[in-house]
């Protein structure tokens, strides 16, 4: 009788624990979705185009990486033009050590930004237009700057849920 009661107590505690963990996980998922929604809304305003009509990629490579934005619909020339304007602005601003837009979009200083500002003279930002948008090619020969660029790009991958390789 004591063993059966003990089993029932343990089973009840397990079910209770699973229910609590499920509620915590659900609340965390809701908070992540809300954060992503807030960042998307701030991003639409800061970038000048609707993120839902575009695809972002943040790609890392041995020299630095690439920020790439393209329209989903090739006929959407208004969004393409807005992307190209935005990326030209980003390349210029970043080269001057101005990272206000990513800080505004994400409501925080992204990882890597402090070092990228300090080492701005050792980092190159090259805007490249494409048929559907464009990209900013980021490169450096400085190992500390390279690590900062990769930190920055990995943060963007996570925040924008791009699925790009971390």
Q: What is the structure's pLDDT at 47?
A: 77
Distance separating alpha carbons of residues 46 and 44, to the nearest angstrom: 6
**CA 101, 103, 104 angle in degrees (round to 5)?**
65
Residues 107-156: tens digit of each pLDDT: 999 999 999 999 999 999 999 999 999 999 999 999 999 999 999 999 99
Residue 31: pLDDT band with limits 50, 70, 90: very low
Report pTM.
Answer: 0.74
Quote the CA–CA distance of 84 and 105 in Å, as a whole number: 18
């Amino acid at each position: 009788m004591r063993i059966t009661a003990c089993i029932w107590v343990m089973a009840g505690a397990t079910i209770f624990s699973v229910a609590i963990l499920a509620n915590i996980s659900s609340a965390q998922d809701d908070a992540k979705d809300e954060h992503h929604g807030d960042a998307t809304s701030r991003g639409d305003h800061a970038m000048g185009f609707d993120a839902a009509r575009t695809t972002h990629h943040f790609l890392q490579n041995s020299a630095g990486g690439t920020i790439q934005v393209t329209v989903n619909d090739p006929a959407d020339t208004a969004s393409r033009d807005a992307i190209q304007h935005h990326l030209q602005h980003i390349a210029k601003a970043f080269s001057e050590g101005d990272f206000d837009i990513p800080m505004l979009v994400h409501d925080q200083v992204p990882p890597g930004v402090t070092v990228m500002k300090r080492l701005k003279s050792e980092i190159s930002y090259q805007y490249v237009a494409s048929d559907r948008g464009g990209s900013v090619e980021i490169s450096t020969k400085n190992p500390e700057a390279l690590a900062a660029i990769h930190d920055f790009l990995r943060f963007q991958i996570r925040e924008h849920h791009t699925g790009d390789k971390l």
